Amino acid sequence: MSRSYRVLALALVGVLVLVGLAKVAGGDSDAAPVADPAASGASETVASEAMTPVESVTDEVDGDVTTTSTTAPPVTGPCTVTAAIQTGATGAEVQCLESQLVAAGLMAAADATFDAATDQAVRAFQTAKSLEVDGIAGRQTAQAMGIWAGPLGPQPATDADCPSTGHGAIVDRANQRGALCENGAITYQFPLTSAWSQPDPGVYPVYAKDLNASSNFGGHYSTMTHFVAFTRGKYKGARIAFHSVPKLSNGDWVMPLDGVGTEQYHGESSGCIRVLPDDAVKIWDWLSSGDEVHVIS
């Protein structure tokens, strides 16, 4: 090889070496970009209940769907029910309920006693109408039958709404209220701010507790405390929990504390149950893993 070709070859080798060094120093431009954890939802950093090793998780904000109030269906049945009835009840309103169940082919006869057969028929009706299946003939069930003549507004929680566990909680989205229960009786009530469309009515077990959490929801960083998770969102599967009203990095609350429990701020949450800071502590101290939360509306 002539001297000029050797010089050219050495020069090319030098260029290749310099390019390789530049890639090592500046990164490979062909590599896939690193995903921003805040780009797909809310990023939470949490500490376990016992404050032993810090666990980092990312929760995606579940979203929400705004609902509009609708006029209650008119009474179309030959008789009426004015209050929720369940197993053990007797009388004319039970007779009315059972007559509708007989007409629907779900019972053989009406005897004015709400027994196991009535409970089974009510559950079958609720299943067919995609209602909460609890065996209680309340406003929604009776409205679906065309026999409800009781109050049209949301009814407040009662002891009958308490979960079966010794310690439990109630979430009443319609009234923006919650309650703590002990052995089937309400012991404490509190205001809350929830989403419009979730969580759906049902009974859910507490499955996680994180004392501190943070979020990038809405494009701003916020922190919250006493995160007690009991279900997941129906849109994206994000965790849904009780927690304190979030606080922005500048120290401001994301919503006024006196707005918690008001209809003005109903729907401000995307799924979780926001509560006042002191109530968040009470809920955290009251509920343990496996305790039930009963969402009644």
Count of domains observed in the chain: 2
pTM: 0.60
Stretch (H or E) spanning 252 = none
Residues 64 and 82 both lie in one domain = no
Domain of 184, in residue numbers: 42-68+154-295
How many other CB atoms sit within 10 Å of the CB of residue 216? 19
pLDDT computed for residue 64 by the predictor = 63
Question: What CATH number corresponds to the domain at position 57?
Answer: 2.40.440.10
Residues 51 and 197 both lie in one domain = yes
Selected residue with higher pLDDT from 146 and 73: 146
Question: What CATH number corresponds to the domain at position 143?
Answer: 1.10.101.10
What is the token pair recorded at 122? 């009510």
Cα–Cα nearest to 39, from 61, 67, 57, 69: 61
pLDDT computed for residue 56 by the predictor = 35
- Per-residue pLDDT tens over the stretch 191-230: 999 998 899 989 999 999 999 988 877 677 889 999 999 9
Q: Distances from the Cα of 190 to the Cαs of 212, 218, 278, in angstroms?
A: 21, 26, 10
Selected residue with higher pLDDT from 35 and 186: 186
Maximum distance among all Cα pairs of the chain, rounded to whole angstroms: 114
Domain boundary among 151, 177, 210: 151
- As a whole-number percent, the residues of the chain with pLDDT over 70 amount to 75
Alpha-carbon Rg for the chain in angstroms: 28
Q: Distances from the Cα of 3 to the Cαs of 10, 15, 54, in angstroms?
A: 11, 19, 65
Q: Is residue 275 scored above 70 in pLDDT?
A: yes
Selected residue with higher pLDDT from 39 and 125: 125
pLDDT computed for residue 241 by the predictor = 96
Residues 124 and 186 both lie in one domain = no
Residues 161 and 64 both lie in one domain = yes
Q: Is residue 69 scored above 90 in pLDDT?
A: no
Cα–Cα nearest to 296, from 46, 78, 64, 84: 84
Which residues lie closer than 8 Å to 138 by C-beta, 6 or more apart?
84, 155
